[in-house]
């Protein structure tokens, strides 16, 4: 198949859900924005764009009723723990993803996660003792990181609240990935950052290195998780280095899958990760990475390139529920457009389904990436965008393409 036939332009219908001239967004690309029936769409309402938030500028958390021709925003609560890239991790709690909404907040000097029940009028019904990054889809388990540490490293991804670090050292032994029982609230550290740094090939001896962990994902069956271990130091030529690490949910059998550069990723299945990475020969591309067959030190052996002739830049990859497609986006091109695409996994054909202008004043930590997220039925994709001059929530109907 020629490159031209593998790269197609197929514009899909776009519907703005949020009202004009107000600012709404959902956040990162690795979550379902809708509940189990795809009727309610989560969002955060804020009063400004174009700069970083402070802890004194809370966002309103709520949802839109998509059954209405002009969906109303129904508020649930407020959160002072939010950022532009990953919001406050608002999502549907898997134990009942039709009615339970959970999001992070800052209360009494601590990061927490707050649960609301739509069947009880949206009232708050539970508070978990740690802010949660991601939740297992198969059991009452969440994984947590220290968002104050993330904020120190990258303000667009952490929370600006005046919270002390769990462990203030640059290479902490008492901080890393935490496992939280979302029913009882019990939690424990399962994979310290110092242990990540010690995994072969070790990076423990890099002088003056500040380490943190971000972008945690649990595999579909809830048996293992992945995370990005990052560190920066004056001696490094890059802004920071990134290692992709996976482990069992209790932190055992931890392994490094990529060391040179790993960016956005998503689990394709329980043993395979799709990620933008740098291979042994120095080539950047999306690769399918085998979690179980990577030999330490020879990562190219388990890197299978994906659609390298048509997907040539990093983006936010997100598999459809049936794993037949993955959605992806681009950073602004020469025309200041962000391109939204679907890539068909069977043959690597790329379908460009929309272009969305990105004003130059929105560059930086407050930028508005499209961050495509699928509806649960796999026939629509939700994005954040500023192409109309305000930050809004948009839905693209892709039924014609995926069917």
Mean pLDDT over each residue of the chain, to the nearest integer: 95
Domain annotation covers residue 402: no
Cα separation of 188 and 191, whole Å?
9
Would you state the structure tokens that stand for residue 262, as one six-digit string?
A: 């790993």
Q: Looking at residue 87, what is its pLDDT?
A: 97
294 has pLDDT over 70 = no
Report residue 298's pLDDT band, with 50, 70 and 90 as the boundaries.
low
Domain annotation covers residue 186: yes
84 has pLDDT over 80 = yes
Nearest to residue 31, comparing CAs of 23, 42, 16? 42
Domain annotation covers residue 40: yes
Report residue 300's pLDDT band, with 50, 70 and 90 as the boundaries.
low
Q: Looking at residue 121, what is its pLDDT?
A: 96
Question: 195 φ, ψ to 5°?
Answer: -70, -40
Residues 85-115: tens digit of each pLDDT: 999 999 999 999 999 999 999 999 999 999 9
Cα separation of 332 and 395, whole Å?
20
Domain annotation covers residue 216: yes
Mean pLDDT of 9-28: 97
Give the dihedral sign, CA 194/87/360/308. Answer: positive
296 has pLDDT over 80 = no
Order of strands across the sheet that contains 141-144 = 134-135, 141-144, 176-181, 187-192
Range of the domain at 35: 25-334
Domain annotation covers residue 344: no
Domain annotation covers residue 29: yes
Domain annotation covers residue 166: yes
DSSP letter for 19, please.
Answer: P
Q: Looking at residue 130, what is its pLDDT?
A: 98
Number of domains in the chain: 1
What CATH number does residue 100 fall under? 2.130.10
Domain annotation covers residue 356: no
295 has pLDDT over 60 = no
237 has pLDDT over 90 = no
pTM as predicted: 0.95
39 has pLDDT over 70 = yes
């Amino acid at each position: 198949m020629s490159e031209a036939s593998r790269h197609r332009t197929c514009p899909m219908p776009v519907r703005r859900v949020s009202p004009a001239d107000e600012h709404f967004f959902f956040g990162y690309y690795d979550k379902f924005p809708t509940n189990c029936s795809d009727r309610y769409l989560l969002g955060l309402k804020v009063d400004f764009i174009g700069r970083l938030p402070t802890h004194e500028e809370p966002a309103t958390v709520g949802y839109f009723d998509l059954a209405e021709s002009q969906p109303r925003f129904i508020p649930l609560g407020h959160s002072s723990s939010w950022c532009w890239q990953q919001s406050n991790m608002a999502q549907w709690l898997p134990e009942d993803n039709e009615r339970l909404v959970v999001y992070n907040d800052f209360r009494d000097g601590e990061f927490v996660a707050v649960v609301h029940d739509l069947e009880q009028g949206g009232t708050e019904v539970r508070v978990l003792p740690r802010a949660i990054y991601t939740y297992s889809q198969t059991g009452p388990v969440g994984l947590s990181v220290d968002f104050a540490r993330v904020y120190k490293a990258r303000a667009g991804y952490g929370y600006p609240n005046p919270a002390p670090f769990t462990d203030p050292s640059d290479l902490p032994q008492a901080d890393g990935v935490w496992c939280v029982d979302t029913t009882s609230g019990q939690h424990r550290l399962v994979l310290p950052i110092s242990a990540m740094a010690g995994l072969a090939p070790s990076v423990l001896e890099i002088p003056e290195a500040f380490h943190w962990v971000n972008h945690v994902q649990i595999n579909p069956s809830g048996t293992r998780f992945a995370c990005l271990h990052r560190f920066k130091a004056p001696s490094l030529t890059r802004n920071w280095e990134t290692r992709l690490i996976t482990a069992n949910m209790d932190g055992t059998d931890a392994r490094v899958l990529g060391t040179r550069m790993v960016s956005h990723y998503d689990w394709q299945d329980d043993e395979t990760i799709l990620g933008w990475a740098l291979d042994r020969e120095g080539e950047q591309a999306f690769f399918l990475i085998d979690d179980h067959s990577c030999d330490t030190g020879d990562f190219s052996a388990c890197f299978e390139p994906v659609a390298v002739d048509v997907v040539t830049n990093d983006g936010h990859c997100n598999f459809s529920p049936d794993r037949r497609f993955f959605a992806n986006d681009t950073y602004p091109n020469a025309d200041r457009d962000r391109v939204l695409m679907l890539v068909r996994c069977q043959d690597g054909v790329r379908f460009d389904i929309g272009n969305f202008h990105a004003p130059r004043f929105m560059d930086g930590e407050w930028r508005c990436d499209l961050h495509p997220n699928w509806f649960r039925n796999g026939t629509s994709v939700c994005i954040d965008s500023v192409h109309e001059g305000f930050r809004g929530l948009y839905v693209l109907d892709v039924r014609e393409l995926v069917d």
